[in-house]
Structure 1
Amino acid sequence: MPWWPFRRRSRSGSRPATPASSSGGWRLGEVALPRLQGSRRYLQEQPYLLPKDLGEVNRLDFQHYILRAILRGNYLAPIKQPRRILDVGCGTGQWAFELAQQFPQAEVIGLDLEQVKPSVSPPPNYRFVQGDILQGLPFDDNSFDFVHQRLLVLAIPQAAWPAAVQELARVTAPGGWLELVETSIHISNLTPSGPANQQVASLIGQLAALRGLDSEGVVARSLDQYLAQARLNQIQCHPIKIPVGEWGGRIGSLLALDFRTMWTAISAPLAARFQIPEQDVLQLIDRACQEWNELHSSCSFIVAYGQKP
């Protein structure tokens, strides 16, 4: 059965594209996380695995500053003076706010399922658009000089990724750049990986797979292929290995805190799905965090970008 069709807006009036088929993809109502579980709020209608609440807002902002430090900036693509910039899955909007300040002449649009920080005063050249990449982007073809999307591996089902990247390329203007940033929840992404880490990754992977999400690290390894399938040129793919844990200094400590916070955020769904006491899940996470320092573990982020001809 095909994944949800993308509702595209095109100047050419072409018919909506149909993404690749998914025989095991998540569908509305299947293995849905409860909207409220404990003190955390989840989106029942979406395959998104993480919460959507104030705690996750704080984590996403924290994660943004870590990634900016890792990349030594907000992007790697060789953009110059873009006129229009799109951030898909913008989260708190912090990345888009900073791009709007860096390029005051550009219009910067952040798109997400919800606007999570409406009380924050954005830059005057920024605006939020509510939307869902799985339903198609509400923009014309060739609309943006720079399109950015990062860390949606726990939001976009694996089978939908090729079509999602084609949709991102559709709204990219000729000569413009599309940049993707991802990591993997697969056990192999954290090396060396001790027994506690393997158990945590296995549980998260099983829960992700039930919702059609990538549990084997396929997406992170395939970003350059997705860009090539979308007919982009000048494709570059940069794996960036980062230490996890206090042994890795400031960045390692910050990334460890981010991972711990993220894993803890889905401890209740893990406990409910696999009928494990939540306290046991939290203790397992604690042991996994200890292994990072004992084993000097590292993980990898992948940054891939390409130019539309």
Structure 2
Amino acid sequence: MTFLPSNGGCNGFQFTFETYLDSSSPKIEVDVKSISKYEEQFGRTYHSYRAGSYHYPNDPTETERLDDQYEIAKELMEGRNYFAPFSRKNPPRKVLDIGTGTGTWAIDMGDEFPEAEIIGTDLSPVQPDLVPPNVRFFVEDSSEEWIYAPNHFDYIHTRYTLGCWKDMKSQIIQRAFDHLKPSGWLECQELNTLPVCDDGSMTDDYKLLQWARDMDDASRAADRQLVIGDDIKRWLEEVGFVDVQQIVLKLPVGGWAKEPRLKHLGMLWQRNLSGGLSGLSVGLLHRFGGKTTEQVEVDLVGVRNSMFDRNAHAYMKIYVVWGRKPDVIS
């Protein structure tokens, strides 16, 4: 059984679906309604394609938060969308954005590199209809076998895919290696949700830290990796990438930082994270954390309050890791 792209779509989206290899069989029609009719739980909506494999919502409240999160990440990276060595003079030709979300990164890349073919994949068709002509979105589960030919892409990208994968190394990094052209690049920009502190001002009972640990425990119970940043560089090297580089960026939680730029980003991140806590927490902690929805919401009051504590100098780490597939595979 394999996955083939369909020419059909909903609001301009193309989908993948299963079909047997017997070419004499009747064409299997795509069930567009089931893909676009989302699951409803806890007063939110969730993806219906491969329902239950991703535990966070996809409704307008969440997509607006994701767009704001994108702007925060871009400002933290000083306006950059990528660190792999591409430029207008050395553009990528075929780009894959895994877990594209609202598609903002793919659209920006399409504008920057109009000669490139940009593909964004996600479980939810929540991307806009109006996109550059070189950008396409597909509803796909990237944890399953990929439909693309080996040695196809120049550049593959992930950003903030925490909680998406059972095993990011085998499901994403290894497959990216197989589907990149020689000298193609994989870049992973991933957030660690566990807050850390440099000066000891964040105590062990800090509510945001307790929340992050609860989320990590529930994600493990759901067989999904949440805290992966420390492992990504090693995974790329073990798979066979060369010239692997890593930078670790610090994103403050709240406005405690002295430097004006970091203070501004910290306040933006506090607002973004605070607004998204319910959507991020309820489904996962109810299904796999043994908590009622009411218990989760009560606990989140303390978590939100803790983010206003300027005496706790907490921040989260953003791991940006990029590596090149060698020209010759030994």
Q: TM-score, normalised by structure 2?
A: 0.76
Q: Is the 8 A contact 1:140 1:171 kept in 2?
A: yes
Q: Does 1:290 align with 2:308?
A: yes
Q: Distance in 2 between matches of 1:56 and 1:138?
A: 29
Identity level (%):
27
Q: Is the 8 A contact 2:219 2:225 kept in 1?
A: yes
1:178-217 map, 5 Å: 178-186=186-194, 188=196, 192-194=201-203, 195=205, 196-215=207-226, 217=227
Shift, 1:7, TM fit: 6.3
Q: Distance in 2 between matches of 1:179 and 1:95?
A: 13
Q: Distance in 2 between matches of 1:202 and 1:102?
A: 39
Note the alpha carbon deviations across 1:187-215, whole angstroms, 9 max, x for none: 54897534212321232122212111235
Q: Is the 8 A contact 1:131 1:138 kept in 2?
A: no
Q: Which of 122, 131, 137 is matched with 1:128 structurally? A: 137
Q: Is the 8 A contact 2:106 2:119 kept in 1?
A: yes
Q: Distance in 1 between matches of 2:81 and 2:312?
A: 30
Q: Does 1:231 align with 2:240?
A: yes
Q: Distance in 2 between matches of 1:175 and 1:8?
A: 27
- The structure carrying a bigger helix percent of its residues is 1
Q: Does 1:247 align with 2:261?
A: no
1:15-164 map, 5 Å: 35-43=39-47, 45-72=51-78, 73-79=80-86, 80-118=90-128, 120-157=129-166, 159-164=167-172
Which residue of the partner structure matches residue 17 of structure 1? none
Shift, 1:227, TM fit: 0.9
1:267-306 map, 5 Å: 267-269=281-283, 270=285, 273-275=290-292, 277-291=295-309, 293-306=310-323
Q: Is the 8 A contact 1:192 1:295 kept in 2?
A: yes
**1:107 partner amino acid:** E
Q: Distance in 1 between matches of 2:52 and 2:242?
A: 32
Gaps of 5+ in 2: 5-37, 258-262
Q: State the secondary structure of the residue aligned to 2:192.
A: coil
**2:109 partner amino acid:** L
**1:85 partner amino acid:** V
Which residue of the partner structure matches residue 19 of structure 1? none
Shift, 1:63, TM fit: 0.7
Shift, 1:181, TM fit: 1.0
Q: Distance in 1 between matches of 2:180 and 2:197?
A: 30
Q: Distance in 1 between matches of 2:286 and 2:157?
A: 34
Q: Distance in 2 between matches of 1:41 and 1:255?
A: 23
Q: Distance in 2 between matches of 1:295 and 1:278?
A: 23
The range that moved more, 204-213 or 296-305, is: 204-213
Shift, 1:98, TM fit: 0.4
Shift, 1:234, TM fit: 0.6
Note the alpha carbon deviations across 1:81-133, whole angstroms, 9 max, x for none: 11111111111110000000000111111111122034x30001111122111
Q: TM-score, normalised by structure 1?
A: 0.81
Gaps of 5+ in 1: 1-5, 10-33
Q: State the secondary structure of the residue aligned to 1:183.
A: strand
**1:37 partner amino acid:** Q
Q: Distance in 1 between matches of 2:303 and 2:211?
A: 7
Q: Distance in 2 between matches of 1:112 and 1:252?
A: 28
Q: Distance in 1 between matches of 2:296 and 2:235?
A: 38
Q: Distance in 2 between matches of 1:170 and 1:122?
A: 28
**2:160 partner amino acid:** L
Tell me how large the CA RMSD over aligned residues is. 2.5
Which residue of the partner structure matches residue 278 of structure 2? 264
Q: State the secondary structure of the residue aligned to 1:96.
A: helix
Q: Is the 8 A contact 1:47 1:212 kept in 2?
A: no
Q: Is the 8 A contact 2:100 2:122 kept in 1?
A: yes
Q: Tell me the matched-pair count.
A: 275
Q: State the secondary structure of the residue aligned to 1:148.
A: strand
- The structure carrying a bigger strand percent of its residues is 2
Q: Is the 8 A contact 1:247 1:296 kept in 2?
A: yes
Q: State the secondary structure of the residue aligned to 1:176.
A: strand
Gap change, CA 1:94 and 1:160, over 3 Å in 2: closer
**2:161 partner amino acid:** L
Shift, 1:264, TM fit: 2.2
Which residue of the partner structure matches residue 26 of structure 1? none
Q: State the secondary structure of the residue aligned to 1:135.
A: coil
**1:261 partner amino acid:** G
**2:247 partner amino acid:** H
State which structure, 1 or 2, has the greater radius of gyration over its C-alpha atoms. Answer: 2
Q: Is the 8 A contact 1:49 1:208 kept in 2?
A: no
